[in-house]
Amino acid sequence: MRLVTTLILSLVVLLVPAWAFAAPSAAETKAALEKFKQAQKSFDAKDYAQTLELARAALEVTGSPNARLYVARALRELGQLPEAHAELERTLKDARELARKDAKYEPTRDAAAAELALLDQRVGKVIVALVDPPPGVKVEVNGKPLDATQVGQPVAVAPGDVVARAHGDGAAPVEKQVQIAAGATLTVTLVFKPEAAQGPATAEKPAVSAAATTKSRGSGLRTAGYVVAGVGVVGIAVFAVTGSMANAKYSELEDKCGSARCSDPKYADTVDSGKRLDTIANVGLIAGGVGLLAGGAMIVFGGPREQKSAAGVRSVPGGLALEWSRRF
């Protein structure tokens, strides 16, 4: 069906008079007409690369929509569908304007409109929308730049992956990739954000006169002092408990034996237990006392001591002097 349509449209264009070109001179018109005829023959022979070359040569001289139509057809048959679509749009626009004054351009207008409608189903279309565009913004679709008139308007692309990219002054480049199907139209929105101001980091200059306090020293000794003092408190607590228990054993023996020494074997365990408690109490007392004394000393002498330094400028006879001092 497509082949039949193409042949019919080709016959329509063949009926367009060759003298429809706007020729700048007789010699150039004759040469352009010859190239156009050759382009038609090459197209019929399916030599699309040759058709493209000849049709472009004729178009360059005349700007005729007839020659542009064959440029579009050759691009289409070579598989360059987005480019063919753009050429057909231009052909339709130019032929429509010329047909208003001269009816001989109507067949070209109608052929371009029909072929463009068919090609619309084989390409996708993207509309690039810009949000907060910077000055000098430039837009590309699949690496091909768009002019200002194409931004915000449908642009034909090959179906599949499409990459839209934009960049401008004072803003980071923006890029977005989408997928589009044949016959579909998709809007791609690119949002610009101002680039963060970047510059070399500047170090703050110290004041002419300043004072600085270094970190405290001795905090470790003081912590150890609390630990040692805690051990001393435990020792005193052991002394109090075991001493009380030893006194209880002594009172028990005193009740049984009076003031005399208990020589009865049945009191041997009580005597031994009392001696052990008495020993433990004495050890607890000594350890507790030493721990409290040592820990207290470490807490007192291990407290925070600030080491300070100061720098400044002072007046002296005959000028200024830089002064630095340190205090512990």
The tokens for 245 are 């228990």
Residue 47, C-beta contacts closer than 8 angstroms, at least 6 positions apart:
none
Flag whether pLDDT at 287 surpasses 60.
yes
At 46, give phi and psi (nearest 5°): 65, 30
CA-nearest of 81, 153, 159, 78 to 115 is 81
Is 0.85 topped by the overall pTM? no
Flag whether pLDDT at 14 surpasses 50.
no
pLDDT of residue 193: 87
d(Cα 116, Cα 111) in Å, to the nearest integer? 8
Flag whether pLDDT at 44 surpasses 80.
yes
Flag whether pLDDT at 97 surpasses 50.
yes
Flag whether pLDDT at 269 surpasses 90.
no
pLDDT (average), residues 231-246: 67
Q: Which of 24-28, 54-58, 148-152 has the lowest mean pLDDT?
A: 24-28
d(Cα 191, Cα 166) in Å, to the nearest integer? 9
Flag whether pLDDT at 24 surpasses 70.
no
d(Cα 216, Cα 296) in Å, to the nearest integer? 20
d(Cα 81, Cα 92) in Å, to the nearest integer? 16
What tens digit of pLDDT does each residue of 199-210 get? 454 444 444 444
Q: What is the DSSP letter of 209?
A: S
Q: Which of 49-53, 136-140, 169-173 has the lowest mean pLDDT?
A: 169-173
pLDDT of residue 194: 76
The beta-strand segments (E) located in 64-143 are 124-131, 138-141
What tens digit of pLDDT does each residue of 174-233 get? 999 999 999 999 999 999 987 654 445 444 444 444 443 444 445 566 676 666 667 666
Side chain identity, residue 30: K
What region, left, alpha or beta, does residue 29 occupy, with left being phi > 0 and alpha being psi -120 to 50 degrees?
alpha
What tens digit of pLDDT does each residue of 49-84 get? 999 999 999 999 999 999 999 999 999 999 999 999
Flag whether pLDDT at 7 surpasses 70.
no
Task: Report whether 127 contacts 155 (CB < 8 A).
Answer: yes
pLDDT of residue 265: 63
pLDDT (average), residues 40-55: 97
d(Cα 251, Cα 259) in Å, to the nearest integer? 11
CA-nearest of 67, 41, 183, 189 to 118 is 183
pLDDT tier at 6 (50, 70, 90 boundaries)? very low
What tens digit of pLDDT does each residue of 114-127 get? 999 999 999 999 99
217 versus 249: which is more confidently predicted? Answer: 249
Q: Is 277 exposed, middle or buried (0-12, 13-18, 19+ CB in 10 A)?
A: buried
User: Kind of pairing, strands 144-146 and 138-141?
Assistant: antiparallel
The tokens for 77 are 């048959």
Distances 325 to 213, 225, 312, 320 between C-alpha atoms, Å: 12, 32, 9, 16
